[in-house]
Structure 1
Amino acid sequence: MIEIIDLSIELGRFALHHVDLSIRDGEYLVLLGPTGSGKTVLVECIAGIHRKHGGRILVDGRDVTGLYPEERHIGYVPQDYALFPNLTVRENVAYGLRARRLPEVEIVARVNSMLKMLGLSQLAERSPTTLSGGEKQRTALGRALVTNPRILLLDEPLSAIDEVMRSELATELSRIQRAVNGTFLHVCHSFDEATEVADRVAILREGSIAQVGTIEELLEKPASLFVARFTGARNLFSGVAEERSGGSVVTLADGVRLACGVRSAGPGVAAIRPEKILLANGLALGSAENVLEGRVTGVKRKMAHVEVVVDAGIDLVVYLPRAGERETPEAGCSVTLRIPPEAIRLLPSE
């Protein structure tokens, strides 16, 4: 288990401010945030690259704050993989074991086992300069994992991988983490990437933790407007809420009134996820609350869904599953929408 307690540091334009974060044993935690939010600095503090900082870092209850990187027994895969170009794949994987002066028989056995697990046996005598991005990533992972670290830190491990390969390698990372029962901390700036691997996600904003939770918790209960935006809540409308029995009614700036399933009062922002909005092409949705009539102004077919934009007094983005693509309305069609009250989150303005 890793415990980060009140960690603060300033490095030029990068800074962390009183960061508190716990990473559980055997957990795959993703550290997510925009460029410049301090993700890499935090990982480098855990690895021991930066030791002059405020606060403490505990590993399994042991204070490692003042220890050098090699004393922490933490694996680290930097963004550029940092493979040795003058060594073969096998020699790169064996490097950490040789640095520890383990017996040659043990080194050979552990390296061969790791190469097999990562599908690198056929590439063992190749130079890193001849490898693809995915092969380099697996080699760097093997070099980190073969030393049996308690923790593995991965800084943007999929950033140099093409989109087709990225999903496959994300699946591979999850498989490896489960196979070794390791504690993985994975840095990225893509929420889609985080959803492929994370048990939990910690969102970092300007050097501070904005929210920590499962994917479901972040989607259903964003703690702030920033988190809602970062996790893809495309429909964000300023308004004023009034409490009522069983929830609230929010009046948006456009005059549209929507029932909300949570109690709130005063000005704020209504956040509505696109996949939560129900759409029927010319069909009525009954007398339920939050039924709106509108006209389709745009349709985009994407890999995971169909994006439909509807003018219903407010411009709403709706995500429809590709499975029902034959029923997707075209631009210009009249449609009926329903926004379930429980799908509306009321957040403070920023």
Structure 2
Amino acid sequence: MIELKDLKVKFDDFSLGPLSLEIKGGEFFVILGPTGAGKTILLETIAGIYEPLQGRILLEGRDVTLLPPEKRGIGIVYQDFSLFPHLKVKKNIEYGLRFMGISKLERRKKVQELAQMLGIHHLLNRYPLTLSGGEQQRVALARALAPQPKLMLLDEPLSALDPGIRQRLGNELKKLNQETGITFLMVTHDIKEAISLGDRIALIRDGKIEQMGRPEEFFHCPASSFVAEFFGMKNIFRAKFHEDRAQLEGINIALKAPCRSKEGFVVIRPDEIVVSRSPIRSSLRNELKAKVTSILDVGSYVEIRAMVNTVELCAYITQHALEDLKLKEGEEVFFSFKAISVEAIETL
């Protein structure tokens, strides 16, 4: 549906790209990254606000790289809503239609349809400044949807809203995407939003794509230590590799497959570590003797931290398992896990 080919943008002292990606028609695609990663610049380049130094932007196979924003068939919704304060809600929604050669009757009909769809019919005669954040965001969505764009760009659309409203409007965005079939491209710094809304995610840092794929792939196969850390993963350690073994601080860990490089990082999934009082007979290829340093009840699970030599490992266990083990800080335990629970991130 939309394809970026070798796109590069220079903005003041920041450089975006070169990067390439392809988004399918009807997909809800999320650009995720920390503040200053280049998310909004990428979005506004696609919209036509900035002109790239190199590369092409294709929309349904048509090269729109040099087209002005109004001729691209793209809608955009900003974090601050960007509504016209002097116009009533109905006039805000209708605004883009006035330049499309549509009759007044058809414009009114479209406004009514969108207001009904987004639950803002009762707000049509109000001014934006009298609306709540959630109401303003719905109006901004209606205005962007009115010209029937092929692509909808969303710049941090939920970040200015209260948590309860944020979740509800997020669900509505996903529903809109599914019901209209319009391709949605959203940027956010919020991992939970990206995971819950995105069919696929591209994580960017310093203007470059670190990893792209389905949400679960970032947890099961992080492409770099930055990806693992950004997604809040525990047990990330620098390691040296020798075939299917990893060495870290005197600890020898079995891997699921041989590594090509000599060093990199390992990520050990805390929810796949078995905690026991004594060694267990099983097919688990990794078993480490450790000393408990902390026990933290976080509600849905218990986080156990323990030292193995100079390395602190973290494991997640259930409340029931903690009661059975009767663990206390300072006691010795065994942390056991499969080789497939260890993700090796090679630095080539």
Same fold (TM over 0.5): yes
Match of 1:340 in 2: 338
Match of 1:290 in 2: 286
User: For residues 163-242 of structure 1, what are the structure 2 equivalents within 5 Å?
Assistant: 163-242=163-242
Match of 2:305 in 1: 309
Match of 1:138 in 2: 138
Deviation per residue, 1:49-68 (Å, 9 max, x gap): 01253111010110001100
Identity of aligned residues (%): 40
Structure 1 gaps of 5+ residues are none
Tell me the distance in 2 between the aligned counterparts of 1:82 and 1:202: 26
Secondary structure of 2:97's match?
helix
Match of 1:149 in 2: 149
Deviation per residue, 1:262-313 (Å, 9 max, x gap): 2115222111233333345x47643422123434433445576554433344
User: For residues 245-324 of structure 1, what are the structure 2 equivalents within 5 Å?
Assistant: 248-253=244-249, 255-264=250-259, 266-279=262-275, 282=277, 285-287=280-282, 288-302=284-298, 306-313=302-309, 314-320=311-317, 324=318
Letter in 2 for 1:256: I
Deviation per residue, 1:202-237 (Å, 9 max, x gap): 111211112211112222122222222222222111
- Could you tell me the TM-score, scaled by structure 1's length? 0.90
Contact 1:14 1:37 in 2 (8 A): no
Report the RMSD for the aligned CA atoms in angstroms: 2.2
1:325–1:97: structure 2 CA closer, same or farther, 3 Å change rule? farther
Deviation per residue, 1:174-208 (Å, 9 max, x gap): 11110111111110112222101001011112111
1:127–1:228: structure 2 CA closer, same or farther, 3 Å change rule? same
Secondary structure of 1:51's match?
coil
1:294–1:85: structure 2 CA closer, same or farther, 3 Å change rule? same
Tell me the distance in 2 between the aligned counterparts of 1:175 and 1:216: 21
Match of 1:129 in 2: 129
Letter in 1 for 2:252: R
Tell me the distance in 2 between the aligned counterparts of 1:285 and 1:167: 43
Tell me the distance in 1 between the aligned counterparts of 2:102 and 2:271: 54
Contact 1:49 1:69 in 2 (8 A): yes
Tell me the distance in 2 between the aligned counterparts of 1:249 and 1:64: 50
User: For residues 70-109 of structure 1, what are the structure 2 equivalents within 5 Å?
Assistant: 70-109=70-109
Deviation per residue, 1:112-138 (Å, 9 max, x gap): 111111111222222221222222211
Match of 1:20 in 2: 20
Contact 1:225 1:348 in 2 (8 A): no
1:307–1:119: structure 2 CA closer, same or farther, 3 Å change rule? farther
Letter in 2 for 1:109: K
Letter in 1 for 2:115: L
1:183–1:252: structure 2 CA closer, same or farther, 3 Å change rule? same
- Could you tell me the TM-score, scaled by structure 2's length? 0.90
The CA deviation at 1:8 is: 0.9
Tell me the distance in 2 between the aligned counterparts of 1:284 and 1:199: 42
Matched residue count:
341
Letter in 2 for 1:234: K
Deviation per residue, 1:127-162 (Å, 9 max, x gap): 221222222211111111122100000011111122
Tell me the distance in 1 between the aligned counterparts of 2:280 and 2:87: 65
User: For residues 19-58 of structure 1, what are the structure 2 equivalents within 5 Å?
Assistant: 19-58=19-58
